[in-house]
């Protein structure tokens, strides 16, 4: 029986791929129809994502916590909903058709315990909506693509399916499949529709991304090697015991000693990470307790209470002994897996010095693909930090939190300094992305616990909001570059100027987006950076001070760029036409969102994103 949330999430993921399949069936001469079909398919995907947002908000609003807060109930957290869904799946009675927990799980490759597992929380869902919006506007910006229209549109839609699937996957293997699905479309889109050096840029993109993917794959294998029998529903364990006893003609006691359960389930693997952290910190006694202190850790409590990670009915002493006997419960294993995961996602963020593929990819990619690359794909790196790197290896992450923060600060400063020396409009924005994504790393790294856990929550809120705001401003600014490139046929900042007079609407929209990217109060870029810098100050003023000073550098190169492009007098730009209706419609949503998210960040985003972050921080802050 298919529950409603399984249908909704599956439609959300595969609607773009279905639209691509429809494009393959259309006659080749129907080029205009193909463009409209792709656009309507992307619009339908955005509509479905907004419907899921409404459903998720209703879920949060329907579950009260002990303080009467509807949006902060422990019952609504992703891990709690996933646990309940797994327990329901182990029961003989099927799940209700109208299930509203927004967790969907079906067996996929049973021999390796791989599930088609999807789940919704505010972190992933906010990025899904961003993906749907950016893809829709990128398709609107693709109207001037004349060569290989069908293939181009199909690849963009397949890319959207891969990104949305990665943001919703709760199975590590499924996540990896969607993560890799994005590689080929982006490679082909840059390699076939890019600029003069498109082959070089596409090859460099693939080499860097494949290197990161191999590191993630190695970490995936390492995680699957862990025996998680004490962390899953014990009905599953007993079923395995009976099957093994029957297969080998053993009694159940002997079979029980040989049962091993391996999984790719992200929620289960995060429980293993939490248990390992307590054991390595010498706090095993906290694992034996019955009451979770998740909310206490965030709302002002200490971090010395019990932590519940083992499944109900498990002999805790025996479970701890089994866990300590495994390689996962060693410092080298934790450092190794953390390094592999971090390396894999650092390429995508991108982290200095793994960033050099990004400027080349942006310069050679067509404008709509640059919009998707900056607005969406870079966010997969930040999302990987939040969903996988920190939760799966919290002990190593805690030990290296200062190093992570330093890496973020280096990225912020390096990206800003290099951006100041660029004369290519696209390269400047590419290095600006390196700088802005450094705030994401810094916010996630600002680990605090106990009574200071609130500060870390601010940092993670800032990191997630920074991903959203950067997705909006970066995608829009790359379109801004595309608009002027269509008229000037170059991106050399030294040859622009004087655009204000012939293109007033274009300049007005661009001004809002430049100031938003700069972090001007009242616009979207300010909110995330403010949260991150405030959190970083409580974490380490030594790291916070250079990050704060970087704001001056950001304002310097963005203001300098805006003045050079739009002010003054230039006979070469005097005849440029202003925004066409299609260009104005494409840019208008970004301008509106840049303003609204700066004025109403809590109402529009944080109100339904923060509960997921609260639960995420609570689970990890209570361990340290």
> Tell me: the pLDDT tens digits for 541-551?
999 999 999 99
Q: Are residues 153 and 219 in the same domain?
A: no
Nearest CA-CA partner of 178 in 16, 34, 394, 22: 16
Q: Are residues 177 and 188 in the same domain?
A: no
619 vs 185, residue with greater confidence: 185
Which stretch of 7-16, 102-111, 479-488 has the lowest confidence by average pLDDT? Answer: 102-111
Using the predicted structure, report yes or no on whether residue 315 has a pLDDT greater than 90: no
Q: Are residues 109 and 12 in the same domain?
A: yes
Mean pLDDT of the chain: 89
d(CA 141, CA 590): 13
Q: List, in sequence order, every residue forming a beta bridge with 116; answer none if it has no partner.
A: 106
CA dihedral sign of residues 162, 166, 167, 168? positive
d(CA 221, CA 425): 42
Of the residues 259, 294, 325, the one at which a domain ends: 325
What's the domain range around 547? Answer: 182-223+333-621
d(CA 375, CA 357): 16
Using the predicted structure, report yes or no on whether residue 374 has a pLDDT greater than 80: yes
Q: Are residues 113 and 158 in the same domain?
A: yes
Q: Are residues 426 and 408 in the same domain?
A: yes
Mean pLDDT of 581-604: 95
d(CA 62, CA 73): 9
318 vs 94, residue with greater confidence: 318
Residue 420's pLDDT band (cuts 50, 70, 90) = very high
CB < 8 Å & 24+ apart, contacts of 103-111 = 103/5, 103/78, 103/170, 104/3, 104/5, 104/6, 104/9, 104/10, 105/170, 106/6, 108/171, 108/174, 109/173
Q: Are residues 384 and 407 in the same domain?
A: yes
Residue 71's pLDDT band (cuts 50, 70, 90) = low
Mean pLDDT of 464-486: 95
3-state helix, strand, coil in the chain (%, to 5): 75, 5, 25
d(CA 217, CA 58): 36
Residue 70's pLDDT band (cuts 50, 70, 90) = low
Q: Are residues 303 and 379 in the same domain?
A: no
Residue 291's pLDDT band (cuts 50, 70, 90) = very low
Using the predicted structure, report yes or no on whether residue 568 has a pLDDT greater than 80: yes
Q: Are residues 199 and 110 in the same domain?
A: no
Q: Are residues 433 and 455 in the same domain?
A: yes
Instruction: Please give the pLDDT value at position 169.
Output: 96
Instruction: Please give the pLDDT value at position 168.
Output: 96
Q: List, in sequence order, every residue forming a beta bridge with 492; answer none if it has no partner.
A: 424
CB distance 545 to 461 below 8 Å: no
Calculate what percentage of the chain has a pLDDT beyond 70: 92
Burial of 147 per CB tally in 10 Å (0-12, 13-18, 19+): exposed
Q: Are residues 389 and 486 in the same domain?
A: yes
Using the predicted structure, report yes or no on whether residue 327 has a pLDDT greater than 60: yes
Instruction: Please give the pLDDT value at position 72.
Output: 66
Of the residues 303, 325, 347, the one at which a domain ends: 325
Token digits of residue 196:
């003069």
pLDDT tens, position by position, 490-502 = 999 999 988 999 9
Of the residues 181, 213, 242, the one at which a domain ends: 181
Using the predicted structure, report yes or no on whether residue 299 has a pLDDT greater than 90: no
Using the predicted structure, report yes or no on whether residue 426 has a pLDDT greater than 90: yes
Calculate what percentage of the chain has a pLDDT beyond 90: 70
Using the predicted structure, report yes or no on whether residue 226 has a pLDDT greater than 90: yes
Using the predicted structure, report yes or no on whether residue 412 has a pLDDT greater than 90: yes
**What's the structural domain count of the chain?**
3
Q: What is the pTM of this model?
A: 0.94
Instruction: Please give the pLDDT value at position 301.
Output: 43
Q: How many CB atoms lie within 10 A of CB 251?
A: 8
Q: DSSP letters of 333-353?
A: HHHHHHHHHHHHHHTTTTPTT
Q: List, in sequence order, every residue forming a beta bridge with 118; answer none if it has no partner.
A: 104, 169
Mean pLDDT of 123-144: 95
Top-confidence range, 36-40, 449-453, 605-609, 617-621: 36-40
Q: List, in sequence order, every residue forming a beta bridge with 104; answer none if it has no partner.
A: 118
Using the predicted structure, report yes or no on whether residue 539 has a pLDDT greater than 70: yes
Using the predicted structure, report yes or no on whether residue 158 has a pLDDT greater than 70: yes
Instruction: Please give the pLDDT value at position 79.
Output: 82
Instruction: Please give the pLDDT value at position 99.
Output: 62
Using the predicted structure, report yes or no on whether residue 532 has a pLDDT greater than 70: yes
218 vs 297, residue with greater confidence: 218
Instruction: Please give the pLDDT value at position 621.
Output: 80
Residue 65's pLDDT band (cuts 50, 70, 90) = low
Instruction: Please give the pLDDT value at position 289.
Output: 61
Residue 453's pLDDT band (cuts 50, 70, 90) = confident
Q: Are residues 169 and 311 in the same domain?
A: no
Instruction: Please give the pLDDT value at position 92.
Output: 61
Q: Are residues 187 and 66 in the same domain?
A: no
């Amino acid at each position: 029986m298919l529950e409603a949330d399984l249908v909704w999430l599956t439609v959300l993921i595969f609607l773009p791929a279905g639209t691509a399949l429809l494009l393959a069936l259309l006659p080749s001469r129907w080029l205009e129809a193909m463009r409209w079909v792709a656009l309507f398919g992307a619009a339908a995907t955005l509509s479905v994502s907004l419907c899921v947002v409404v459903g998720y908000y209703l879920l949060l609003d329907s579950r009260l916590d002990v303080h009467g807060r509807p949006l902060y109930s422990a019952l609504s957290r992703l891990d709690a909903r996933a646990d309940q869904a797994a327990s329901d799946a182990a029961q003989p009675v099927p799940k209700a058709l109208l299930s509203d927990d927004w967790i969907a799980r079906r067996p996929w490759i049973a021999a390796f315990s791989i599930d088609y597992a999807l789940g919704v929380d505010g972190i992933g869902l906010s990025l899904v909506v961003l993906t749907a919006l950016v893809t829709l506007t990128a398709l609107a910006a693709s109207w001037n693509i004349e060569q290989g229209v069908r293939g181009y549109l199909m690849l963009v839609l397949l890319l959207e399916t891969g990104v949305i699937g990665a943001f919703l996957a709760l199975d590590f293997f499924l996540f990896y499949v969607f993560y890799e699905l994005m590689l080929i479309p982006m490679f082909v889109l840059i390699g076939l529709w890019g600029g003069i050096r498109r082959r070089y840029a596409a090859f460099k993109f693939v080499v860097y991304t494949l290197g990161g993917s191999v590191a993630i794959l190695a970490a995936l294998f390492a995680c699957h090697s862990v025996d998680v029998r004490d962390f899953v529903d014990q009905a599953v364990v007993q079923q395995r015991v009976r099957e093994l006893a029957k297969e080998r003609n053993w009694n159940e006691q002997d079979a029980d000693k040989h049962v091993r359960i391996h999984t790719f389930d992200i929620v289960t693997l995060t429980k293993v990470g939490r248990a390992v952290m307590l054991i390595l910190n010498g706090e095993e006694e906290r694992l034996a307790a019955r009451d979770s202190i998740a909310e206490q850790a965030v709302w002002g409590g200490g971090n010395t209470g019990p932590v519940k990670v083992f499944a109900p009915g498990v002999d805790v002493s025996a479970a701890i002994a089994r866990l300590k006997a495994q390689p996962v419960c060693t410092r080298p294993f934790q450092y190794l897996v953390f390094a592999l995961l971090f390396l894999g996602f650092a390429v995508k963020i991108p982290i200095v010095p793994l960033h050099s593929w990004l400027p080349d990819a942006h310069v050679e990619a067509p404008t709509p693909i640059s919009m998707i690359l900056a607005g969406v794909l870079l966010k997969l790196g930040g999302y990987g930090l939040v969903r996988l790197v920190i939760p799966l290896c919290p002990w190593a992450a805690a030990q290296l939190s200062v190093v992570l923060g330093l890496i973020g600060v280096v990225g912020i400063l390096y990206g800003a300094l290099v951006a100041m020396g660029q004369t290519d409009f696209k390269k400047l924005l590419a290095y600006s992305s390196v700088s802005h994504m450094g705030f994401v790393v810094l916010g996630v790294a600002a680990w605090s616990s106990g009574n200071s856990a609130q500060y870390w929550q601010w940092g993670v809120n800032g990191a997630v909001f920074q991903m959203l705001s950067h997705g909006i401003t970066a995608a829009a600014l790359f379109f801004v570059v595309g608009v002027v490139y269509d008229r000037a046929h170059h991106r050399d900042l030294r040859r622009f100027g004087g655009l204000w007079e012939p293109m007033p609407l274009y300049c007005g929209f661009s001004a809002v987006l430049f100031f938003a990217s700069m972090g001007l109060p009242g616009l979207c870029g300010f909110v995330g950076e403010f949260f991150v810098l405030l959190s970083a100050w409580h974490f380490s003023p030594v790291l916070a001070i250079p990050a704060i000073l970087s704001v001056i550098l950001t304002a310097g190169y963005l203001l300098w760029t805006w003045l050079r492009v739009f002010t003054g007098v230039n006979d070469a730009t005097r005849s440029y036409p202003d925004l066409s209706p299609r260009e104005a419609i494409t840019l208008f949503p970004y301008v509106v969102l840049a303003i609204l998210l700066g004025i109403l960040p809590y109402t529009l985003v944080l109100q339904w994103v923060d509960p997921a972050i609260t639960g995420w921080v609570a689970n990890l802050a209570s361990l340290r």
